[in-house]
Amino acid sequence: MSVLLSAQGLGVRFGGLNAVSNLSFEVNEGKILSIIGPNGAGKSTVFNCLTGFVRPSSGTVLMKGKPIHGFSPNRIVQKGIARTFQTIRLFKGLTVEQNVMSGLHIRTNTSVFSALFHPPKYRREEELVKEEVSRILKFVGLEEKADNRAADLSYGEQRKLEIARALATQPDILLLDEPAAGMNHSEKNNLRELIYAIRDSGTTIVIIEHDMQLIMDISDWIIVLHYGELLVEGLPEDIKKDQRVIESYLGEEG
């Protein structure tokens, strides 16, 4: 089993506050890793470090054994890491198809000059982009909504669209930041199946989520954060029974 992504001694300070302290973990290829913990545990800060939105104060982040900490978000996407956000960030005035196309731009090579003058190479690339967008929309179940404005989608569909746009970057790892937030029971079931499908298609997944039933169902491995530090990690069945987790986090849910 190969390690695709790892954090080693990761630390983040905001002024005098340690948001993350000496955190180390590994993401194995082809698996679903979940990061849980109470609000303020440092989960989103970890995601922001992994994706270039926050520069770590200490430690390293390695992708396929090579350091990526300190890289810009765009460069990290090029290295094979994509993400969604806790708050949906779509281009609401654009169509579903156009939103997914925006995710593909990082993988296309055509210059602005080519786009203006439409040489054969540009036209062929445009055809390939449309084919790929169509494939992704079918994969997430939004193919019939391609021409709809993103703003006109239901909440669950908007979540799917954000995932589709992230998948358009052809990531090796997809980071999902509370994808089930605000979803009803049916939407969560659909999300569960989509996450499995993404994993089965060859994309490794790291997920932050407060829905413990979903986490226990889908996770291969769980790490639990508490005040920016690793409290415990393990298999779902072990995490569920761990007294430290129950006291610091799961007990809050009851």
SS3 category, 23: strand
The closest alpha carbon to 211, from 190, 183, 242, 186, belongs to 183
Does this model's pTM top 0.75? My answer is yes
Domain locations in the chain? 1-80+171-254, 91-170
What's the token pair of residue 128? 């390939």
User: Using CB atoms within 10 A of its CB, is residue 22 exposed (0-12), middle (13-18) or buried (19+)?
Assistant: middle
SS3 category, 134: helix
Distance, CA of 34 to CA of 46 (rounded, Å): 12
**Residue-level pLDDT, tens digit, the chain, 254 residues:** 799 999 999 999 988 888 999 999 999 999 999 999 888 888 999 999 999 999 999 999 999 999 998 899 989 999 999 999 888 889 999 999 999 998 887 665 444 445 555 566 666 777 888 889 999 999 999 999 999 999 999 999 999 999 999 999 999 999 999 999 888 899 999 999 999 999 999 999 999 998 989 999 999 999 999 989 999 999 999 998 888 888 876 554 43
- Which residues 6+ apart lie within 8 Å of 243 measured at CB? none
Report d(CA 1, CA 138) in Å as an integer: 30
Q: What's the CATH superfamily of 1-80+171-254? A: P-loop containing nucleotide triphosphate hydrolases (3.40.50.300)
The whole-number pLDDT of residue 249 equals 66
